[in-house]
A and B are shown apart, each in its own frame.
Chain A
Amino acid sequence: MRELAYVNAIREAIQQEMRRDETVFVVGQDVRGGVYPHTLDLIEEFGEERIVDTPISESAMHGTAFGSALQGYRPIVDFMFASTAMTVFTETAIMTGQQYFLHGSKRPVPLVMTGAWGIGKRTANDHAMPIHGYYSRAPGLRVVIPSTPYDAKGIFTAAIRDNNPVMIPWCTGIMMLKGDVPEESYELPLDKASVKRAGSDVTVLANSEQLQFALKVADKLSDEISMEVIDPISFSPIDMETILSSLEKTNRIVIVDEDWESGGFAATVSARIVEQAFDLLDAPIQRVCFPNMPIPGGYMEDYLRPNPEKIESAVRYVCA
């Protein structure tokens, strides 16, 4: 099958959906020029009416998407860097998330919000910050992160066709990761986790670049420990069914997430396991996350962020 880089798989999803449905458009800053390659040269095919640049006005930029979505368009609002969406958190999380439900579940808000994040590029907190933890606490939003090129195309396609606001923060650490991607259009479920490697001794949840790390660790330990590696994909709502059915088999779990340790995905999943499946656990849940400090730039990232060594150590701890 044909190989595509992750970021080009996003681009292909956007391009194919824009060809299929003329209500789809992209709005952002320098999306015409394509600061990131997922909008590169789309201007040539779709013109300025559908590849829309704004000034550095995040609230009105998001508003272009939010308001037009309420009028039946299907916008993709590109914040370039995911953390930039946080400058208008009221609009992107609260107002966008509550709109449909609070108004009687009548007029949907079909929009996609996206932006890049990623620890390990020595860019420090502002550019690197994961945002899925923050956004997954805003009811009414879907928060999804695809972690392979195949998933990137299927998830973006489904998100554009979905009738809800979908936040997709994608990770720069896997931007050029290559993988098989079908040329034709396809959708993947927005609310389902994906088992990336079957195993029987321990369940490891990991997304984005950490998924690659977890799979490497699984390879390395394959003679000693059988790791089941699951990509959560959906951070809101969380697919507990897939996680718990894996735990029934393994009775041990390690949750890896580059998000801060406190109050995020890993904390929520841990709490739900303790509430719903305490008896399944043969070892304490282990979380491998970023410590609760602003992400420093420079070389400190290497030993502060989750990495293969920390994942291996946590896996060995629960399997001991």
Chain B
Amino acid sequence: MTEITVTLTKEQRITLFRNLVRADKFGKMMYSRMMQGKLIGFYHPAEGAIAPGVAAGSFLTNDDILFPHHRGHGITHMLSKGIDIEPYIAEHAGKSTGCCEGRAAWHYAYPDNNVFGTTAYIGHNFVPCTGFGWAAKRNNRGQIVMNCFGDGAMGTGRSHEGLLLSSNWQLPIVHFCENNGFAIFAEVEEMHPTAHLSTIAEGLNIPTTIVEDGQDVFAVAEAVMPAIERARSGGGPTFIEAKCLRFKEHDIGNRDLRGWKPREQDEYDAMLKRDPVLVATERARAESLFTDGEIEKIHEDAEQEVARAVKFADDSPVESPTEAELMATLYAPRDGVSF
């Protein structure tokens, strides 16, 4: 295997930084809206663990296929891929302007942007991603698949099967494991016998990369970009394991345990020093990437974007079609559908 190494350009670093700030602000807005009762369903906050999703999404084309991680309900990945986020916020509020007509809550899809996700069935992502990879290879136009999941998914049989077929068929898939150390409460160290989950992929002859500091968006991107390049150029799948930190409970309203005991205050205090926005800001300052004024502007722009999305969702009506109207859309017609 030839190692591909990359050095991020200044423009790429700016893109990553901007998307990181946007993801952080959208995630915090979702958390607070859930607490206010303005989101429907559950919310599984990504706070603290957003650098991997930003790195996974920021350098995909519209034609590339993305299955986001369910944490943060994929907002991080999707806004980084460049899709219109407003219909998603509306969807999560059950509004008619939602990306799925208000039917999906957070189990949404944006087919026109080749984004499919998310689901309650952990590890399910490996299933459609096998077919996305199969199609992408046969389409032969340089399309790739970004398959995102957490450490919990690596306990499923689906993950083994998806990795196996991607290796057998050399599919253009980046398997992207955002290992935050927890599946709800269960610690990865207790649930898996190996130090790195990527050893499972190694056993299936898939090239692997471990990012020890998944709090650093630039470090994650340096691992993701060669994997995207390998997939795009016909080099087959890569498995990336980014070790990251989950700042909050699994889902809002749940307890935040390690195993079956509350996480210690020391752990939270230490984690907050590794906030991904803080880490990226320190690096950006050290490398003179931005002036303080430019950083402030990025934050302001993101806040305005969030405010626009919230307004869009709040101003949109609740969808209330009749049972008969819904039933009429159960099956796809023969004509007039698009792929």
Contact = CB atoms under 8 A, between A and B. Distances in A.
A71 B132 contact: yes
Nearest to B116: A70
Contact of A107 (B107, B126, B162, B339): B339
Closest 7 CB pairs of A and B: A67-B131, A72-B339, A63-B127, A108-B332, A107-B111, A60-B161, A71-B135
B165 A70 contact: no
A194 interface: no
Interface in A26-85: 49, 54-55, 57-73, 75
B318 to A, nearest CB: 15
Contacts of A60: 126-127, 130, 158, 161-162, 164-165
A68 B329 contact: no
Given A68-B131, A103-B103, 17 more contacts: A60-B162, A64-B130, A67-B131, A68-B132, A69-B131, A70-B131, A71-B131, A73-B138, A91-B124, A101-B330, A103-B100, A103-B108, A103-B109, A104-B104, A107-B338, A108-B339, A140-B331
Nearest to A101: B330
Given A55-B168, A107-B339, A101 B127 contact: no
B332 A66 contact: no
B280 to A, nearest CB: 33
A63 B124 CA distance: 9
Nearest to B157: A59
Contacts of B107: 102
Of the listed residues A66, A106, A164, the one surrounded by the most CB atoms of chain B closer than 10 A to its CB is: A106
Contacts of B332: 100, 105, 108-110, 163-164
A100 B333 CA distance: 11
Nearest to A72: B339
Contact of A104 (B103, B139, B160, B339): B103
Nearest to B331: A164
A67 B111 contact: no
A182 to B, nearest CB: 22
A164 B131 CA distance: 17
Contacts of B124: 90-91, 95
Interface of B: 65, 98-101, 103-104, 107-109, 111-112, 116, 119, 121, 124, 126-136, 138-139, 157-158, 160-162, 164-165, 168, 326, 329-334, 337-339
Contacts of A109: 332
B164 A70 contact: no
Contacts of B104: 102-104
B92 to A, nearest CB: 14
A239 to B, nearest CB: 14
Nearest to A191: B331
A72 B294 CA distance: 44
A127 interface: no
Contact of A103 (B111, B157, B168): B111
Contacts of B334: 161-163
A98 B164 CA distance: 26
Interface string A130-142: 0000000001101
B100 A57 contact: no
Contacts of A62: 127
Contact of B119 (A57, A75, A95, A100): A95
Of the listed residues A94, A104, A105, A109, the one surrounded by the most CB atoms of chain B closer than 10 A to its CB is: A104
B174 to A, nearest CB: 15
B126 A72 contact: no
Contacts of A107: 109, 111, 337-339
7 contacts: A55-B168, A60-B126, A61-B165, A67-B132, A68-B131, A70-B132, A91-B124
B331 A67 contact: no
A119 B164 CA distance: 34
Nearest to B109: A103
A91 B339 contact: no
A49 B138 contact: yes
B339 A66 contact: no
Given A49-B138, A67-B134, A95-B127, A140 B161 contact: no
Contacts of A163: 331-334, 337
B316 to A, nearest CB: 14
B165 A55 contact: yes
B134 A68 contact: yes
A91 B127 contact: yes
Contacts of B135: 67-68, 71-73
Contacts of B116: 70
B109 A63 contact: no
A91 B125 CA distance: 11
Contact of A63 (B131, B157, B160): B131
Contacts of B108: 103
A54 B133 CA distance: 14
A178 B101 CA distance: 48
Contacts of B329: 101, 105
A65 B100 contact: no
B100 A59 contact: no
A273 to B, nearest CB: 21
A57 B99 contact: no
B106 to A, nearest CB: 11
A66 B128 contact: yes
A50 to B, nearest CB: 9
Interface in A253-301: none
A252 B134 CA distance: 52
Contacts of A140: 330-331
A129 B135 CA distance: 32
Given A55-B168, A104-B100, A65 B337 contact: no
Given A55-B164, A64-B165, A104 B99 contact: yes
A187 to B, nearest CB: 10
A142 B331 CA distance: 9
A102 B127 contact: no
Contacts of A95: 119, 121, 124, 127
Given A163-B334, A164-B332, A104 B101 contact: yes
